[in-house]
């Protein structure tokens, strides 16, 4: 379905959903631990795909409201076929896990996921003892068979998910391992992985771009409480900056790199205050100024920054974001097309965007089947003279179920349109 957001003023309090990145990782660690509880996880399309994969490897999963109990597996002995839909995180993290099964598994995804390359990860796992078959770029579907035994490898990681996959997999290997990363992108997501591994009793020695992982370790996660998601919070913060006042709740400090949205908003002249003691971020309508943003560690914030830049005075340059081209869609191209469709002056570069802000008359933008496109660009309807219609807006359920209801509760004018 499509959704139309009309010019309106927002005011109120809102709580973002739990972290998608932490939920994926907590589910995996719990499924490899004897007995674990995950509190306050995100239930979304992507994380449910990971939960499905946990069951696929043999974990017993029981849900009570916002609590999930796991009885994990000691040995991965999966076989058969699993479709993880649109979740690239699930596919990549489980490539490493399924590389411990002696039986053949096939991991697949939807049409979008089948376009995403996994070559560096698959070749690295093969060097470590796994057997993974696919096309040249190792796009889904992939045939996987173990067993990873460990060793020393170098990898050029186009995605931090490749490193996280190895970090989850190699503690289970027979021998010690060392990963030398040629280039680290989105480092905060690796830090989230290291945090969950630490909570699971897994030893990893991280030294800059190098990671040393002892073999023959066992997962022992007990209880893990998932924090709020800063990527999702960025849309609520942006709503306040654009069109009123929003208090974002449950925002304690975190290892999530996307907490940088607070500093970026301040650099743009935004009236934002973060009360870390009480976990409240308050964002008020502000006159924004263009800035330069290095997006190497914050790819998920780029659509939000692009939306703020669209109304900011002057020029905003977003750079070091070339890894956005291999997300659910080419997000650099997606942002470019949506900004152009709303009449915003924008230049597309190999690694980012240059955006000159201005007034927005309104129009139609496309989600392109990408949740972050729908979440971010819907916000421009709050300030557009004629509102903004987002095509295929239901895709927000990938990371922020109920998003448009949250906007409605903040007094935004939201209309669903049957497409």
Q: Which residues are marked as active site? A: 300
CB 413 within 8 A of CB 5: yes
Q: Counting Cβ atoms within 10 Å, is residue 385 exposed (0-12), middle (13-18) or buried (19+)? A: exposed
Write the CA distances from 326 to 115, 135, 361, 417, integer angstroms. Answer: 9, 17, 31, 30
Provide the sign of the torsion angle of the four alpha carbons 388, 318, 251, 242, taken in this order: negative
Furthest C-alpha separation in the chain: 62
Write the CA distances from 345 to 306, 360, 390, integer angstroms. Answer: 12, 11, 20
**In the block, which residue shows the tokens 């289970």?**
172
Contacts of 344 (CB under 8 A, 6+ apart): 310, 355, 356, 357, 358, 360
d(CA 334, CA 320): 16
Write the CA distances from 377 to 8, 176, 239, 285, 310, integer angstroms. Answer: 15, 46, 11, 17, 10
Provide the residue count of the chain.
419
d(CA 209, CA 327): 23
Count of C-beta atoms within a 10 Å radius of residue 75? 11
DSSP labels, 387-415: -EEEETGGGGGGT-TTHHHHHHHTT-EEE
In sequence order, the β-bridge partners of residue 103 are: none
d(CA 47, CA 377): 23
Token pair belonging to 345: 């002056």
Q: Which residues are annotated as a binding site?
A: 20-21, 25, 88, 116, 159-161, 186, 300, 327, 331, 372
List b or e across 315-330, with b for residues whose CB sees 16 or more CB atoms inside 10 angstroms. Answer: bbbbbbbbbbebbbbb
Token pair belonging to 363: 């129009």
Q: Which residues are annotated as a binding site for 3-phosphoshikimate?
A: 20-21, 25, 159-161, 186, 300, 327
With left for phi above 0 and alpha for psi between -120 and 50, is residue 129 left, alpha or beta? left
């Amino acid at each position: 379905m499509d959704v139309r957001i009309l010019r309106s003023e927002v005011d109120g309090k809102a709580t973002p959903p739990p972290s998608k990145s932490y939920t994926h990782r907590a589910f995996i660690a719990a499924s490899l631990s004897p007995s674990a509880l995950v509190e306050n996880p995100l239930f979304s399309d992507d994380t449910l795909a990971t939960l499905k994969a946990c069951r696929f490897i043999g974990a017993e999963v029981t849900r009570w409201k916002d609590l999930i109990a796991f009885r994990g597996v000691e040995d991965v002995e999966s076989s058969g076929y699993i479709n993880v839909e649109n979740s690239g995180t699930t596919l990549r993290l489980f490539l490493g896990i399924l590389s411990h099964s002696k039986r053949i598994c096939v991991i697949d995804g939807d049409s979008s996921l089948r376009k995403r390359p996994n070559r560096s990860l698959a070749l690295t796992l093969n060097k470590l003892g796994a057997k993974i078959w696919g096309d040249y770029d190792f796009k889904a579907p992939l045939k996987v068979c173990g067993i990873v035994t460990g060793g020393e490898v170098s990898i050029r990681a186009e995605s931090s998910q490749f490193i996280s996959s190895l970090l989850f997999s190699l503690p289970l290997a027979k021998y010690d391992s060392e990963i030398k990363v040629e280039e680290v992108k989105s480092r905060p997501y690796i830090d989230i992985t290291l945090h969950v591994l630490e909570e699971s009793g897994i030893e990893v020695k991280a030294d800059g771009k190098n990671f040393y992982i002892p073999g023959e370790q066992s997962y022992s996660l007990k209880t893990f409480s998932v924090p709020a998601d800063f990527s999702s919070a960025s849309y609520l913060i942006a709503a306040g900056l654009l069109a009123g006042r929003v208090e974002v709740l449950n925002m304690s400090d975190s290892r999530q790199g996307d907490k940088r949205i607070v500093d970026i908003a301040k650099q743009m002249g935004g009236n934002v205050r973060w009360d870390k003691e009480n976990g409240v971020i308050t964002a008020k309508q502000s006159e924004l100024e263009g800035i330069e943003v290095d997006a190497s560690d914050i790819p998920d914030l780029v659509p939000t920054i692009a939306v703020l830049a669209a109304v900011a005075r002057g020029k905003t340059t977003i750079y070091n974001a070339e890894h956005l081209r291999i997300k659910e869609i080419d997000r650099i191209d997606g942002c470019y097309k949506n900004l152009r469709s709303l009449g915003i002056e924008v230049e597309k570069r190999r690694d980012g965007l240059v955006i000159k802000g201005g007034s927005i008359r309104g129009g139609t933008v496309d989600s392109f089947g990408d949740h972050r496109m729908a979440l971010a660009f819907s916000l421009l309807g709050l300030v557009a003279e004629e509102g903004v219609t987002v095509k295929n807006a239901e895709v927000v359920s990938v990371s922020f179920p109920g998003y448009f209801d949250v906007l409605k509760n903040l007094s935004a004018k939201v209309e669903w349109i049957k497409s």
